[in-house]
Amino acid sequence: MSILMVVTLLMSLSLVGSAKTTENWNDIVKAANKEGKVVVYSTTSRIMAAAEAFEQKTGIKVEAHRLSETELIERVYREARAGIKSVDLVLIEDFPSMKELLVAPGYLVNYIPPSARKAVPETMHNPLVFAHVSRVIGYNSEKYKTAPFESIWDLTTPQWKGKVM
């Protein structure tokens, strides 16, 4: 996920609390400054750099928290159940858990900035998907002439114990 994507999302976030649907940047900054800060829970370490860049660009304070997937889901879940509304933006990779545990019961609300409605394919609107992460598994081609496994699940067998990094 690039810092630009995070910054773009953070910039769009300030519209959430505004009754207006316009994207006049000056109005957005004014409304965000009235609220005091933007609170972000994220699973990426890049959130700190993105928050700093956003603050420098806009003057809007960002309180960023980097959490593991489990910590983030549990924190949002517990805060919502307790009636605490402290987070403005959640950036998470565990889509199924987030959708089932946080969106379905109404703890998180999907928000798509007007400027993103046309730019982001409709199939990625609910919830808003702004990045895809590819995971690649490699192996030593000097040791194995062909792929030494057929499925990622093969790596959970005793044969691979202690060999997967």
User: For the chain, what percentages of helix, strand and coil (3-state, to nearest 5) are there?
Assistant: 45, 10, 45
For the chain, list the domains and their CATH numbers: 3-124 (3.40.190)
Q: What is the DSSP string of 28-53?
A: HHHHHHHH-EEEEEES-TTHHHHHHH
- How big is the CA angle at 138 (ends 154 and 165), to the nearest 5 degrees? 70
* Number of Cβ atoms within 10 Å of the Cβ of 128: 14
Identify the pLDDT of residue 18.
40
Q: What whole-number distance in Å separates Cα of residue 158 and Cα of residue 165?
A: 15
Give me the tens of pLDDT residue by residue for the chain, a chain 165 residues long.
Answer: 334 344 444 444 443 444 345 578 888 888 888 888 999 999 988 999 999 999 999 899 999 999 999 999 999 999 999 999 889 999 888 878 888 888 889 888 888 888 788 888 888 777 666 666 677 888 889 999 999 998 888 989 999 999 887
pTM: 0.65
Q: In Å, what is the CA distance from 30 to each residue of 24, 60, 66, 96, 152? A: 10, 9, 27, 35, 49
Helix (H, G, I), strand (E, B) or coil at 54: helix
163 — alpha (psi -120 to 50), left (phi > 0) or beta? alpha
Identify the pLDDT of residue 121.
82
- Which two three-digit tokens encode residue 42? 């994220």
Q: Which residues contact 155 (CB under 8 A, 6 or more apart)?
A: 137, 149, 164
